[in-house]
């Protein structure tokens, strides 16, 4: 006797593994619906709001894939399984490049006029509230107390900027972006610290560290530690690809107006591009060698 499932497929056994159930199709269908702030289903305010929601949901799934592989990569580095670590870092890079391509869809196909139609429905929300991307930054090596962004005449560290509480007033934070999950992740090993422990387990001056990393970068191509360094630099470029496409989207859709959060939009994103690095010393060494191409 066969059975008709809610998805419309007829199967031999109601309990058999089925594609729609395996990928949780009912949940996916529910996620495709626009929602009010309290979770009720609503109509999209503009036809292109659907693609805007779908792109950002897709990015969050890609970020989840990156985070999953990154924890495995950190463990592999700590265990000195360098070939495995290099492969896992490459997976992380691929997840981020996939997210960048997804965001590029909005740059290519969403017009400023259409975005302006539904932009007001987003305020004061901001893509900067993405917990997964913030966890990626922390797990990669962006230090919570390192310079992160220049904002209205002041240089903020990563945590300083995110850990400001919501206050009334135009241009003031309406959401505290720093969360307990970020606090917990900030105390754990990162790609940067795990990699550094391999090539500089002892304290070094800035000059000594730069010289040692330069020697590593100029070393034999294919050597396991050099291959890992190359993978980490390529991963850094993928992070910057995400930042760049976000910046390009802001330039196209909001120009010089403030962001949907409390930031200065384009100016904020430009500053992060210039300041925030997962592997600042590695990036400096590679770019000084002339072998680092910008995304």
What is residue 98's predicted lDDT score, i.e. its pLDDT? Answer: 98
pLDDT of 260 over the 70 cut: no
Residues 77 and 179 reside in one and the same domain: yes
* Residue percentage of the chain with pLDDT more than 70: 96
Residues 65 and 186 reside in one and the same domain: yes
The rounded distance, in Å, linking the Cα atoms of 37 and 40 is 8
List the one residue out of 102, 27, 98, 93 whose CA is nearest residue 237. 93
Q: Is residue 37 part of a domain?
A: no
The rounded distance, in Å, linking the Cα atoms of 241 and 247 is 10
pLDDT of 271 over the 50 cut: yes
* 8 A C-beta contact, residue 69 and residue 88: yes
In the three-class reduction of DSSP (H, G, I as helix; E, B as strand; rest coil), residue 210 is classed as helix
Instruction: Give the number of residues written for the chain.
Output: 295
Each residue's pLDDT tens digit, 123-180: 888 888 999 999 999 999 999 999 999 988 899 999 999 999 988 887 778 899 999 9
Name the pLDDT band for 226 (thresholds 50, 70, 90): very high
Residues 189 and 103 reside in one and the same domain: yes
Q: Is residue 294 part of a domain?
A: no
The rounded distance, in Å, linking the Cα atoms of 266 and 250 is 6
User: What does DSSP say about strands 41-42 and 34-35: parallel, antiparallel, or unpaired?
Assistant: antiparallel
Average pLDDT of the chain is 92
Looking at the chain, list the stretches that DSSP marks H as alpha helix, in order from N- to C-terminal side: 19-22, 25-31, 49-78, 82-109, 112-119, 131-140, 158-162, 180-186, 191-199, 206-217, 224-253, 266-275, 280-289
Q: How many domains are contained in the chain?
A: 2
Lowest average pLDDT, out of 74-78, 96-100, 240-244, 250-254, goes to 250-254
- Better-predicted residue by pLDDT, 68 or 260: 68
Residues 20 and 69 reside in one and the same domain: no
What is residue 255's predicted lDDT score, i.e. its pLDDT? Answer: 76
Residues 280 and 199 reside in one and the same domain: yes
Q: Is residue 95 part of a domain?
A: yes
The rounded distance, in Å, linking the Cα atoms of 139 and 146 is 14
Q: Is residue 78 part of a domain?
A: yes
List the one residue out of 122, 148, 137 whose CA is nearest residue 181. 137
Q: Is residue 40 part of a domain?
A: no
Each residue's pLDDT tens digit, 17-47: 999 999 999 999 999 999 998 999 999 999 9
Q: What is the pTM of this model?
A: 0.93
Q: Is residue 284 part of a domain?
A: yes
Half-sphere exposure of 284 (CA within 13 A, CB side): 13
Residues 9 and 55 reside in one and the same domain: no
Q: CB 52: neighbour CB atoms within 10 A?
A: 20
What is residue 256's predicted lDDT score, i.e. its pLDDT? Answer: 65
Residues 96 and 68 reside in one and the same domain: yes
Residues 230 and 262 reside in one and the same domain: yes
* 8 A C-beta contact, residue 110 and residue 255: no
Q: Which helix (H) or strand (E) covers residue 149, if one does?
A: strand 147-151
Residues 16 and 70 reside in one and the same domain: no
Residues 207 and 272 reside in one and the same domain: yes
Each residue's pLDDT tens digit, 231-256: 999 999 999 999 999 999 999 988 76
Q: Which domain holds residue 197?
A: 45-289
Q: Is residue 97 part of a domain?
A: yes
Q: Is residue 36 part of a domain?
A: no
What is residue 295's predicted lDDT score, i.e. its pLDDT? Answer: 44
CATH of the domain at 212: 1.20.58.480
Residues 204 and 135 reside in one and the same domain: yes
Residues 115 and 204 reside in one and the same domain: yes
**197: Cβ contacts below 8 Å, ≥ 6 apart:** 77, 78
Segment 206-217 mean pLDDT: 96
What is residue 229's predicted lDDT score, i.e. its pLDDT? Answer: 97
Q: Which pair of tokens denotes residue 150?
A: 């220049």
What is residue 259's predicted lDDT score, i.e. its pLDDT? Answer: 65
Helix axes 191-199 and 224-253, enclosed angle (nearest 10): 150
């Amino acid at each position: 006797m066969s059975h008709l499932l809610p998805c419309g497929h007829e199967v031999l056994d109601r309990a058999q593994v089925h594609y729609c159930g395996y990928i949780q199709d009912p949940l996916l269908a529910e996620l495709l619906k626009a929602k009010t702030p309290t979770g009720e289903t609503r109509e999209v305010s503009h036809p292109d709001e659907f693609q805007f929601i779908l792109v950002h949901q897709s990015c969050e799934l890609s970020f989840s894939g990156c985070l999953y592989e990154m924890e495995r990569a950190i463990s592999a580095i700590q265990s000195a399984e360098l070939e495995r670590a290099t492969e896992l870092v490459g997976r992380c890079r691929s997840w981020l490049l996939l997210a960048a391509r997804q965001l590029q869809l909005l740059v290519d196909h969403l017009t400023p006029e259409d975005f302006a139609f539904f932009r007001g429905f987003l305020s004061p929300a901001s893509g900067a509230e993405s917990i997964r991307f913030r966890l990626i930054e922390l797990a990669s090596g962006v230090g919570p107390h390192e310079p992160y962004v220049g904002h209205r005449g002041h240089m903020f560290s990563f945590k300083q900027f995110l850990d400001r509480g919501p206050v009334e007033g135009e241009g003031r934070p309406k959401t505290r972006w720093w969360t307990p999950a970020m606090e917990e992740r900030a105390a754990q090993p990162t790609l940067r610290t795990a990699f550094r422990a391999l090539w500089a387990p002892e304290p070094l001056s800035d000059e000594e560290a730069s010289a040692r990393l330069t020697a590593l970068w100029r070393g034999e191509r294919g050597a396991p530690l050099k291959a890992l360094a190359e993978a980490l630099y390529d991963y850094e470029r993928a992070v910057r690809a995400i930042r760049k496409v976000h910046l390009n989207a802001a330039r196209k859709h909001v120009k010089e107006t403030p962001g949907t959060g409390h930031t200065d939009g384009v100016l904020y994103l430009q500053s992060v591009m210039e300041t925030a690095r997962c592997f600042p010393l590695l990036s400096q060494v590679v770019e000084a060698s002339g072998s680092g191409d910008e995304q």
